[in-house]
Amino acid sequence: MEMQKKKIEIYDTTLRDGSQGESVFFTLQDKIKIAEKLDEYGFDFIEGGWPGSNPKDLLFFQRMPAKKFSRSKLVAFGSTCRKSVVPEQDRNLRYLVESGAEYITIFGKSWDLHVEQVLRTALEENVRLIRDSIRFLIRQGKHVFFDAEHFFDGYRRNPSYAMETLLAAQDGGAERIILCDTNGGSLPHDVEEAVRQVRKHINVPIGIHTHNDSGLAVANTLAAVNAGAVQVHGTINGFGERCGNADLTTIIPVLQLKMGYACLDEGKLAHLTGLSRYVFEVANIVPPGTQPFVGMSAFTHKGGVHVDAVGKNPETYEHINPEAVGNQRRVLISELSGKSTILQKLRKYDIASKPDLIKKILDMVGELENEGYQFEAAEGSFDLMVRRALGKYRELFRVEGFRVIVEERGNRVVSEATVKVKVGKQVEHTASEGNGPVNALDNALRKALVKFYPCLGNLKLTDYKVRILHPEKATGAVTRVLIESADDTSTWGTIGLSENIIEASWHALVDSFEYKLLKDNNL
Ligand SMILES: [Zn+2]
């Protein structure tokens, strides 16, 4: 029997700290959707927001009673009571009590500099605020966690005072004490040492909350776990103020796959990439390809030697199996990687025993690359091309024609597209508007096909790139359009080339729809 793995509690603060990120904006509905998703994955704690700080967070707690979660505990966040006030009379604490959340995290100062210069109160008064606020919330029937803000900075300057604030939290009855690297400037060995020292004086289980200002949020978190921290705070995709919070999509796989801890519910890690993309999607942010574990490029191979080696044994250039985190291996086609890349890419088509076919495809790729096609990021179009060459292409719809008009109406410019497609014997003629000509074409094509193929409902265009080839020919130059598409489980690129930018876009668009349909129908 497998030994019981040690549990690390995962505390997500995407909805509170994460929403402080410069390009992150969540509506109330977004927050509810993300919270439900995190519950599905088995996150232990979901920090929903700071009900005292803004009306949206207040509403969130009204809409999201803790009982709606099947697995996670909802946490409300706030500060200790104000100086010279008793907790019973503090408005902030009252909001926390009324939030309905069973769990409350309150933050307090553990750096003397902040107490004296920001809070502008006596050091003893700050200790009282911490202890009394926690006691008060416990009397109201809450479970209380204490975030020791700026702990590591405070501990460096005045260790005995920093420790005194933690002792006050312990004395007050906090169930977890979370050490925060609020400014993100600490180093892993200092964090590890500080956590060890704290554990000598404090009996309450320790948590860690780090920011990424030195690029060390993940490393600092792991250092704290090494020293005995049992609760990890972070955000999905590392969203957060300045350089972001500790990225849980990196920390969780490291803890589970490399350090042997248990974090998420059984089987959920294998869908982590889906969670990461879901949160990007809701936040309307294009995911950075290089994100560890869950990024589009995390298991992408381009160089010929690498591709060749990965084909022989993936372990040669992959630190884990991409499927362990729900990601996938991608092999890019490019001149750089040459023949072996294409051969690797062709493996799944089962044609190893047909050298003539392989040669035919290699020649085709070469010719198309000369014209300006580039299949590196266009695996969808590549797949369609190979299917055609192999006689395995299935036509699920046929384009009979399209038209786009762009006109000024009043003081706004409107794009309208009409497409005519044939599915089986049925002809569909649809029109749709869009915020630009390509968007209008996308909408019209979708509208025409979705009744035949409902799976198109989750198809999304995530990126659109235009490159002018041979710009010396000015407006007669060739335009290359690359479209990136995604659905709930995968992403793919398609390409179109033409002297006409609309036509190039249209080809890339149609390829994307075709690829999606063939993929979803297992054809
Ligand atoms: Zn923070």
CA distances to 13, 267, 295, 484 from 41, in Å: 15, 9, 19, 27
Instruction: Say how many Å lie between the CA of residue 235 and the centre of ligand 1.
Output: 10
pLDDT of residue 392: 86
Average pLDDT over all residues of the chain:
91
> What pLDDT score was predicted for residue 215?
98
User: pTM here?
Assistant: 0.75
Q: Which range, of 49-53, 238-242, 306-310, 391-395, averages the lowest pLDDT?
A: 306-310
Per-residue b or e along 462-492, where b marks 16 or more CB atoms closer than 10 Å to that residue's CB:
bebeeeeeeeeeeeeebbbbbbbbbbeebbb
Query: Helical H runs in 331-433?
Result: 338-346, 355-371, 379-390
pLDDT digits (tens, 9 = 90+) for 478-509: 899 999 999 988 889 999 999 999 999 999 99
* Residues counted in the chain: 523
- The pLDDT of residue 335 is 53
pLDDT digits (tens, 9 = 90+) for 77-121: 999 999 889 999 999 999 999 999 999 999 999 999 999 999 899
Q: How far is the CA of 203 from the centre of ligand 1 (A)?
A: 23
Q: What is the pLDDT of residue 281?
A: 82
| Cα of 147 from ligand 1 centre, angstroms | 9
- Indicate if the alpha-carbon torsion angle 173, 174, 176, 177 is positive or negative: negative
CA of 246 to the centre of ligand 1 (A): 9
Kindly give the interhelix angle for 159-172 and 123-139, rounded to the nearest 10 degrees.
20
CA–CA distance, 37 with 24 (Å, rounded to integer): 18
**Residue 226: what residue type?**
N
- Find the 207 Cα to ligand 1 centroid distance in Å: 13
237 CA → ligand 1 middle, Å: 14
pLDDT tens track for 331-389 = 776 554 466 667 777 877 888 778 888 888 888 887 887 788 888 778 899 999 999 98
Q: What is the pLDDT of residue 358?
A: 83
**pLDDT confidence of residue 361:** 86
- For residues 415 and 440, the answer to whether their CB atoms sit within 8 Å is yes
Residues with CB under 5 A from ligand 1 (ion): 17
pLDDT surpasses 90 at 390:
no
Q: How far is the CA of 182 from the centre of ligand 1 (A)?
A: 6
pLDDT at 326: 93
C-alpha 188 – ligand 1 centre gap (Å): 17
E-only strand ranges, 16-72: 45-49
Q: Which pLDDT does position 333 carry in this prediction?
A: 63
State pLDDT tens for residues 213-228.
999 999 999 999 999 9
Cα(403)–Cα(237) distance, integer angstroms: 40
If you measure from the C-alpha of residue 234 to the centroid of ligand 1, how many angstroms do you get, rounded to a whole number?
A: 8
Contact 230, 9 (CB under 8 A): yes
Question: Which amino acid makes up residue 162?
Answer: A
For residue range 145-201, what is the model confidence (pLDDT) as tens digits? 999 999 999 999 999 999 999 999 999 999 999 999 999 999 999 999 999 999 999
Give residue 24 CA to ligand 1 midpoint distance, Å.
15
Q: For residues 11 and 100, which has the higher predicted lDDT (pLDDT)?
A: 11
What is the CA(172)–ligand 1 centre distance, in A? 22
- 184 CA distance to ligand 1 middle (Å): 9
Label residue 66 by pLDDT band (50, 70, 90). low
Distance from Cα 109 to the centre of ligand 1, integer Å: 13
| Confidence at residue 88, expressed as pLDDT on a 0 to 100 scale | 94
Cα–Cα distance for residue pair 19/15, rounded to 1 Å = 6
pLDDT at 67: 57
- Compute, in angstroms, the gap from residue 320 CA to the centroid of ligand 1: 30
Determine the distance separating the centroid of ligand 1 and the alpha carbon of 489, expressed in angstroms. Answer: 31
Q: What's the average model confidence in pLDDT over 312-334?
A: 87
CA distance 380 to 210: 39
Q: How far is the CA of 375 from the centre of ligand 1 (A)?
A: 42
- Read off the pLDDT of residues 426-474 as tens digits, 9 standing for 90 and up: 999 999 999 999 999 999 999 999 999 999 999 999 889 888 887 777 7
